[in-house]
Each structure stands twice: as structure tokens, then as C-alpha cells.
A and B are shown apart, each in its own frame.
Chain A
Amino acid sequence: MDDIILDVRDISKIYMQGKIPVNALHDVTFYVKKGEFVSIMGPSGSGKSTLMGIVGCLEKPTAGKVIIDGIEVTSVSDGQLPRIRREKIGFVFQHYNLLNSLTALGNVELAMRFSKVSRQERVERAETLLKKLGLGDRLNHRPTELSGGEQQRVSIARAMANWPAIILADEPTGEVDSKTRDAIVETFKLLKSRGQTIIVVTHDPDVAKHCDRVLRIVDGTVVDSD
């Protein structure tokens, strides 16, 4: 099992809504191998985003274990989580979440600042990534000057910046047209062909059909994996 990069075991997450406990996830168990392109599908409110948050070390589960690249991230202290997020996870969000005050290059470069990468290397790496994703002529454009597809590609470049173990994409095609969606999927396939592990949360079967595996989640638990 050396090739398993993400191991999720018996995850539960209970939120308190006022005084009422809400069972967002229960007994979620699955794994993802290195270099796999996996999608997580499920209806709204099924717990997909909560699962992404836990796998992305943005929040902790109520019970269970998450092991990323050999590290049991659910047992490390809060102070160590930022380093794990920097080194192991690259996020791609539905709303791109780029900083409007920065250029495309600045947004990608920003991700490496917290990893103490030198300025020269940050700029070189950001330029290379953006050029590989077809944004060589958009380096100095701000997000407001880019199309939805371009913004999402900047977001993907940013996720790639620290060479993470896993890219976690939350509805990355949720706000784009079909042409742009296909371009984004092609980008993920390109990254997969280079050995990158990608997990995509999506509603869209046209995205899921390109994945190696699809995990279906209903009412807070994984019901199917194919």
C-alpha cells in the first residue's frame, strides 16, 4: 500500500447548530493512490465540502483519522497544520478566490511566500506554471481583467506552486461555460499525466467521467466507489 497518498478512515463530523448536533459526516472511509484523478460526487448538503475541509486540513473531524503522504494530520497540533497545508495540499476553489489586488503572477507567487521560497525562485516558478497553463501573455493581468476560465487556470497554477502531494478542487467548473470546463478538465488530465494526484468535488458528470474513480457521497457517508 506504499502508493496510497490519502487514507481516510472512519471520519465523522458533528456540528452544533445552536444546541442541536448535526451529523455532517459519519464513518467515511476511502483512499486515494498517488497520481489518481478522483472525483467526489453527491447532492447539495451531502457533506462534500466538509469532507474537503477535513482532507484539506482546514478543519478537524470529530472522530477518525486522515493520513496524507504518511502523516496522520488529524493528530498533529493546530500550529503544524499551516505547514502541512503548504507542503501537501493545493486548493482550487469554485469562486477562484484570487486576490484582486495582485496580478496573476502575484497570486501564484503568493502561495510560495509562506514556504520561504526566495523571490527570484518564486517568480521563475510562477511564470513557468502560468506559461504551461497557457497564460504566458496574462502574467501581469489582474483577476478582474481575466475570463472565468483564465482565473481558474491561475487558481490551478497557484495550487501547483508548492508541488503539493494532492490538489483538492472544490467545484472547479461550477462557474464556467462548457468550453472552459473542458479546458479545465484537460488541464487536470495534463497534471495527472505528470503524476499529480487530484481530487475534485463536482456535481458535473461530464467532469466525473474523465476521472479514474468516482466516490459518491450521500447524507454524509460514502455510498459507492467505482
Chain B
Amino acid sequence: MFDIIIRSATQRKVRSGLTVSGIALGIFALVVMGAMSENFNQTFENSMSLTSDKIRVFAESGMFGGGLTDDKVPDVKRVPGVKDAYGILLTTFDEDQMGMSGKQIFALPPEKSRIALDPVKLKAGRFLEPGDTYQILVGTSIAGEYDLQIGSKLEIHDKNFTVIGILEYTGSFFDSTAAIPLETAQDIYNLEHSLSTIFAVPEEGIDSDILAKRIELNVKGTSTLSPRELQEQASQSLLIFSVITISSALLAAIIGGLSVMNTMLMSVTERTREFGILRAMGAETKDILLITLGEAALLGIIGGLLGIGIGSAAVYLINLWLAGKGIILFAITQRLLVVALLFATVIGTISGLYPAYRATKMSPMEALRYG
């Protein structure tokens, strides 16, 4: 029966081609938007796995509200169950781009750089050490974009820094991070004693949720995010992002599906007499359904494969272009490709249901008289 389906689809080349293009366009949008969403998910998951052991302590007014200062670090460290604590200052790397590139300055006490970045390994050089001032440790994306080697100079906020270490690729926000000594950052940004966050490392075997609450109770003017809470908060944000991106792509794909329905309705009407002949020859309802739905599904599959191919190629080329700027915007994953192809097939098949139903409801006698 498969040869009949293929022959029927290829008999009307222009129409089938246009329908396949409609589906392909929808799936292209799904792949591109989905790849963007997947990249955010992956980056987030990698970032989480690299910092999941630490409790974040903020000023009660929030991360950007100000008010968190150096003097809170010893208070946090004194809370029973806290193994270590250190403050960090986060700011944008590229002030002229308003931080749109996603790159960030991660200012931290030099002696804590090894713990703060753990388990990220060094690709070259060393971590920050006590006594460092205008030394900088960079992630792979920044190193690639600015062509940095150990000993290279990098200007941050009109000050020259010397690259002393390059981090290994992690697929997380660390790739777009430049770490500098905290005091230097506070100095050059005129943010004396200010911190964005305090990281609290729990002792082994301590429940981080309970410890987070204990920190809030013991250190006045602070709020905390345990690793679990952070995960929940970020997952919600990611979900909203995914829903917006994927639903816009789904809309495009559904429009593609409507073009399949239109094509199949025209095809079924044109083939009324053919269906009558098949019925006269003893074709059963399921045979007619198979031929009609098979053609719709085939158009969906071809459109899906085409959309996936073009979408993947586009994503690859954009990633390649952005790699020079140290940005990875898309991630093509196996699940995205499977979902895209399944969606194309399902939308093709569903769009063929009504035309197929009409084909099976034709009286054989009337179908034979048609046209």
C-alpha cells in the first residue's frame, strides 16, 4: 500500500511540495526555538550541578537591592552547620552591551577561587591566589572571543588585567565568566564592601534547606536560597521561557498542519472517483483510511525531516558565527529532534483525519458517478 501512498503524493508535485514546505517552515521554527530553549535548559542544569552544594545568601531587599556587605560574611560563617562562607560581587562583563551577551564578572576573594569554582578544572594557568589584584581567570568562551592566552592583557572597566588562568569548558555560565579579586572589583566599581551574594558551604550531612532557614534567623537583614529553592525558582522561569518559545513554534507548525488538511481535502475531492473504483474492487474502510492518512502522514514526515534539516543547519551556522563572540545560543538535542519529527508526523496525520473520514463516508456508487 506504501507505493500507492507515495505515488499519490508525488502525482501532484507542486501541491505536495507547497504543503511539505508549510510543515517544514513550522518544524524549522520549532527546531530553532526549541534549540534555544534546550540551550538555556542545558546551561542552567550544568550551572546548577556545579553550584548545587552552596546556599546563596542575599540582602533582604534582594540581590540587586544593595545592602549586603562584607561584614555579614563572618556572621554567616558563625552559623552552626556552615563549613565556609565567602562573598562575591557579580557585575556585567561588557558594560557597552548592557550585559546582553550573558558574560559576567565574578569577583571573589582570591583564596576562595578554587572552592568557589570547584569542580571546574583549569585548562591552563592557575586559580587566583592571595595577593592577586589585577589578575584574571577566564572561562573558555571569553578566552576564545578575545583570543586570550596565559599572560594576555584584558581591559575591564578601563583597567588592564593579566590572564593567569583559563577554565575548562563546562557548558555552564562559568564559560562566560571572568573571575577577578573581590577587593579589586569593589575598588574599580566604587562598591566598597558591597557584595551581591554570600555563598555558604554547608558542613557534610547538613540539610541545606534547614541550614538556609537557620542563616536567615541568625543573620539579620538576609534572605537565603537553598539549592532546592534555587532549582525550583529557576525551573519555573525556564518553564515559562520554554512555554513561550515552544508555543510560538507550535503555532507555526499547526498552520503547517492546516495546509496539509487543505491539500488532503482537495486531494480527496479530486480522487472521489478513484476511491469509488477502489471500493468497487473490494477496498475496505481501513484501506481507504490507510491510503489517505498515510499520504497525510508522509507529507508530515517529509516536511518534518526537511524542517529539522534546515533548522539544524541554521542553528549550526548561527552557533558557528556566534562562537567567535563566545556565545552559544542553541543546543540541538536528541529529544528535540525526536519531538520535532513526532510532532510533524502527528500533525500531518491529525490533519488527514477529517479528509480521510470524508473519503470513507463516500457512497461507492456516488463516488463512481463523480466527475
Contact = CB atoms under 8 A, between A and B. Distances in A.
A158 B368 CA distance: 16
Nearest to B288: A82
B275 to A, nearest CB: 11
A67 interface: no
A71 interface: no
B98 interface: no
Contact of A101 (B8, B277, B281): B8
A99 B11 CA distance: 12
Contacts of B276: 97
Contact of B281 (A53, A79, A102, A114): A114
A59 interface: yes
Given A99-B274, A101-B8, A59 B281 contact: no
Interface string B253-296: 00000000000000000000110111111111101000000000
Contacts of B274: 99
Contacts of A85: 279-282
A82 B281 CA distance: 8
A91 B276 CA distance: 12
A168 to B, nearest CB: 9
A131 B8 CA distance: 27
A53 B365 contact: yes
A86 interface: yes
Interface string A139-182: 00000000000000000001000100000000000000000000
Contacts of B282: 82-83, 85-87, 111, 114-115, 162
Nearest to A53: B365
A58 B279 contact: yes
Contacts of B67: none
Given A58-B365, A59-B365, A101-B11, A158 B279 contact: no
Given A99-B274, A101-B7, A102-B7, A58 B281 contact: no
B144 interface: no
A113 interface: yes
B363 interface: yes
Interface residues on B, range: 20 to 34
Contacts of B285: 79, 82
B66 interface: no
A87 B282 CA distance: 8
B290 to A, nearest CB: 11
Contacts of A97: 273, 276-277, 280, 368
B14 interface: no
Contacts of B11: 101
Interface string B357-371: 000000111001000
A65 to B, nearest CB: 19
A200 B283 CA distance: 23
Contacts of B277: 93, 97, 99
Contact of A114 (B8, B284, B363, B365): B284
A91 B7 contact: no
B210 interface: no
Interface in B1-51: 1, 4, 7-8, 11
Contact of B1 (A58, A99, A113): A113
A126 B271 CA distance: 24
Given A93-B368, A101-B11, 17 more contacts: A53-B365, A56-B280, A59-B365, A82-B283, A82-B285, A85-B279, A85-B281, A86-B282, A93-B277, A97-B273, A97-B277, A99-B277, A101-B8, A113-B1, A114-B281, A114-B284, A114-B287
User: Would you list the 3 A-B pairs with minimal beta carbon distance, nearest first?
Assistant: A86-B282, A85-B282, A82-B284
5 contacts: A58-B279, A58-B363, A86-B282, A110-B281, A114-B278
